[in-house]
Amino acid sequence: MSITIDLPPAMAQEAQGYADLSGTEIGRMFLDCLADELKRRREASAVLSRLDELAKRTSARLVGEPYKFNRADAYEPEVGCDFISLKN
């Protein structure tokens, strides 16, 4: 399969310079980058699948309604206090 990528001239020149310094070709550089990204996504998907499976196995032991975050729960309740004067 042949794919054409239209890069801005400045980016194409910088990519060519990077490829030359790395001792590779631009096409190989893009293929390596794409392969790394696809591998990362596969690994992330596998981790998420294991996490989902773990959640399914362990959530069966939980009873009652699931916790729903309420911002007000993050703060201590307001407590009335007497005014304290800092004057001597």
**44 with 54: CB under 8 angstroms?**
no
Q: Taking the alpha carbons of 38, 41, 45, 47 in that order, is the dihedral positive or negative?
A: positive
pTM of the model: 0.56
Decide if 63 is inside a domain.
no
Tokens for 2? Answer: 């042949």
Summarised one tens digit per residue, pLDDT across range 6-30 is 999 999 999 999 999 999 999 999 9
Number of domains in the chain: 1
37 three-state secondary structure = helix
61 located within any domain: no
Where residue 77 falls (left for φ over 0; alpha for ψ -120 to 50; beta otherwise) is: beta
Residue 21 lies in a domain: yes
Position 24 scores a pLDDT of 93
Report yes or no on 43 lying in a domain.
yes
Domain membership of residue 18 as a residue range:
7-49
Residue given tokens 């773990």 in the structure block = 54
In a domain, 28, yes or no: yes
List the pLDDT tens digit at each of the 88 positions of the chain: 888 889 999 999 999 999 999 999 999 999 999 999 999 999 999 999 999 999 888 877 777 777 788 888 788 776 665 555 555 5
